[in-house]
Amino acid sequence: MERVSNMNEAIVVNRLSAAYRKTEVLSQVSFTVKPGTLTSIVGPNGAGKSTLIKSMLELHPRTAGEVSFLGQPYQKAKKKIGYVPQRGSVDWDFPTDALDVVLMGLYGKIGWLKLPRKSDREQAMEALRSMGMEQYANRQISQLSGGQQQRVFLARALVQDAELYFLDEPLAGVDAATERIIMDTLQQLKNRGRTVMVVHHDLQTVEDYYDHVLLLNRTVVAHGPTDEVFTAEQLHRTYGGALRWMREKV
Amino acid sequence: MNLLSYNAQWVLLSTLLLGMAAGSVGVLAYWKRQSLMSDTLSHAALPGVVIGFMIMGSKQLPVMLLAAAVSAYFGAWLVQSIRNSSRVKEDAAMGIVLSVFFGLGIMLLTFANRMPGGGQSGLDHFIFGQAAAMVRSDVTWMAIVAAVVLVVILLLFKEWKVSLFDASFAQGLGLSVRAMNSLYTALLVLVIVIGIQAVGVILIAALMIIPAVSARYWTDSFAKMLILSALFGGGAGLIGTLISTLGKGLPTGPFIVVSASAMFFISLLFGASKGLLVVRYYRKRAKGSGQKAIMAGGVTEGGRG
């Protein structure tokens, strides 16, 4: 955990705390993530999963702690970070189409005050195609299904060509086809050496989808390779008695 | 046909530009869900106008407008701090600031009207607006500032789009959402300040809200919505001013707002994207011809005309 070794870690979170008003929701969260891994963040409602991502990415104020990405603080590393917020965090009535939303992922590269060029459009189109969404490119975003909206969001993150990806519940309320496309895409990112962290809700699929798990309930309960960490005992510690699915597993 | 005087042409041009600037800023406010903020800030500008007058002892427009800007900014700050530091929600905070500042402004106005020279100063014009009362330098300033507002909005078109649609994502791209918010407030205050003389503090907000809402009925593209709203705003400014110059002493603000409202009702009925008639037409067609048409209607109804 010394500074020297930070260079070999994709993500280092050190004693991070965060609060909403005066209620502390994250306390002394510390963990490190190796490059080229696919990690799920798992925990009960109100465990602070979304807040963890947001406070790492400085979208929510930290009350304490440091975070580094590829050895750099957020402000220096943000060009290397792709973030896929919860689908419900934006107004899908906003007057724009799917292609336009994906293009937003290229705004940083295009440069401020400049307009997207044809090559940018082609790149955005390519990302939509990889999500199986090319026929919806000119569809109003309000006319897309939940799964399609989520695919547009992921396509927007893909064109950013980031090193690190953070996704907040990308599988919430999506159809089976979308779930497969999204997980295949994340797997490909991982295979290309990218580091991916995903807030994930469905305990039944954790073992199939992720190689690492971060069990979170206001602080880190356990973190490591899925086969070591995703055990009945650790889940019980994370969720308390409220987990019925556990009994079936035991 | 009797052509308008040179001065009247200038006034018309400036209210046209004002309407365009107000219409564009209104689209930003619409998607920030802050349409009422423009109303709050314009009412909050009134005490500034009157205090500016009282300090100078006569109608010195630059000072009064500067004071109006300070006063409106103070109102914006108050709304923010009430919201952030208490359980009061933003809409209630805006209601508080709007009524308190406006009440204060009216109270100060009665004092100012009793000051020597106050009664004839035309201070009352700042409430409902009187374009005809503007002198050449006022008009020039108004036109310049309105043009600047328009250019800033156009230049930052893509930045507005991403920060309005998804502020956290914009932040991740390295765009300072805080800076965009400050700029937005600045544009809002600028439009209010240049507009209060022609349109008045009570109705200037309508020139920002109504064109944006009307434009929404015609299009599903942010760019087109901006352009249309600017055209509606400009049209309302032009037509309203034209009507108010026909009679003597007719206030400009109400006629501008009535013109804008007429455009709104036309949009509500005939709007190509969400107008009532279009929506009804596609519903009917969908009912008539089965599943396939229902899907097409579903697409068109909320969206693509």
* Residue A149 domain-assigned (yes or no): no
**Strand (E) or helix (H) holding B177:** helix B177-195
Domain coverage including residue A205: 3-91+162-249
Q: Which residues contact B229 (CB under 8 A, 6 or more apart)?
A: B23, B24, B26, B27, B211, B212, B214, B215
Confidence of residue A17 (pLDDT cuts 50, 70, 90): very high
Contact A139 B299 (CB under 8 A): yes
Q: Which residues of A touch B218 (CB under 8 A)?
A: none
Quick check: helix, strand or coil at residue A27?
Answer: strand
User: For A205, phi and psi rounded to 5 degrees?
Assistant: -105, -5
Exposure string of B66-90, with b = 16+ CB inside 10 Å and e = fewer, is ebbbbbbbbbbebbeebbeeeeeeb
CA distance B156 to B133: 34
Residue in chain A nearest B215 by alpha carbon: A95
pLDDT digit string (tens) for B241-265? 999 888 877 888 899 999 999 999 9
Share of chain A above pLDDT 70, in %: 93
Determine the topology of domain B6-204 in CATH.
ABC transporter involved in vitamin B12 uptake, BtuC (1.10.3470)
Cα-Cα-Cα-Cα torsion B85, B91, B96, B98, nearest 10 degrees, comes to: 130
In terms of pLDDT, which residue wins out, B61 or A1?
A: B61
Contact B222 A94 (CB under 8 A): yes
In CATH, what number is assigned to the domain containing residue A84? 3.40.50.300
Q: Which residues of A touch B299 (CB under 8 A)?
A: 139-140, 143
CB-based contact B71:B51 (threshold 8 Å): yes
* Residue A178 domain-assigned (yes or no): yes
pLDDT digit string (tens) for A40-60? 999 998 899 999 999 999 999
CA distance B275 to B291: 23
- How many angstroms separate the CA of residue B223 from the nearest CA in chain A? 9
CB-based contact B150:B17 (threshold 8 Å): yes
Question: ipTM surpassing 0.90, yes or no?
Answer: no
Q: What CA–CA distances, in Å, run from B209 to A174, B30, B53, B76? A: 36, 7, 29, 17
How many domains are there within chain A? 1
The sheet carrying A11-20 orders its strands as A23-33, A11-20, A62-69
pLDDT over 80 (residue B291): no
Quick check: helix, strand or coil at residue A140?
Answer: strand
Selecting from A79, A107, A140 the residue whose C-beta is nearest the C-beta of B303 gives A140
* Residue A157 domain-assigned (yes or no): no
Share of chain A above pLDDT 90, in %: 78
What residue has token string 């989520």?
A: A150
Q: Which pLDDT belongs to residue B62?
A: 85
CB-based contact A98:A144 (threshold 8 Å): yes
Q: Which residues contact B1 (CB under 8 A, 6 or more apart)?
A: none
* Residue A30 domain-assigned (yes or no): yes
Selecting from B165, B298, B304 the residue whose C-beta is nearest the C-beta of A96 gives B165
pLDDT over 60 (residue A153): yes
Q: Which residues of A touch B166 (CB under 8 A)?
A: 85, 89-90, 104
Quick check: helix, strand or coil at residue B286?
Answer: helix
**Strands A81-84, A212-216: pairing kind:** unpaired
**Two structure tokens written together for B271:** 């709007």
What residue has token string 């068109």?
A: B300
pLDDT over 50 (residue B301): no
If 0-12 CB within 10 Å is exposed, 13-18 middle and 19+ buried, where does residue B44 land? buried
Q: Which pLDDT belongs to residue B298?
A: 43
* Residue A126 domain-assigned (yes or no): no
pLDDT over 70 (residue B235): yes
- How many angstroms separate the CA of residue B158 from the nearest CA in chain A? 7
* Residue A179 domain-assigned (yes or no): yes
- How many angstroms separate the CA of residue A125 from the nearest CA in chain B? 18
pLDDT digit string (tens) for A157-198? 999 999 999 999 999 989 999 999 999 999 999 999 999 999
Confidence of residue B58 (pLDDT cuts 50, 70, 90): confident
Selecting from B156, B225, B302 the residue whose C-beta is nearest the C-beta of A140 gives B302
* Residue A114 domain-assigned (yes or no): no
pLDDT digit string (tens) for B87-131? 899 889 999 999 999 999 999 999 888 887 766 677 888 888 888
* Residue A237 domain-assigned (yes or no): yes
Q: Which pLDDT belongs to residue B159?
A: 94
Chain A positions with Cβ closer than 8 Å to B: 54, 57-59, 78-79, 81-83, 85, 89-91, 94-97, 100-101, 104, 107-108, 110, 112-113, 115-116, 139-140, 142-143, 156
Q: Which residues of B touch A100 (CB under 8 A)?
A: 161
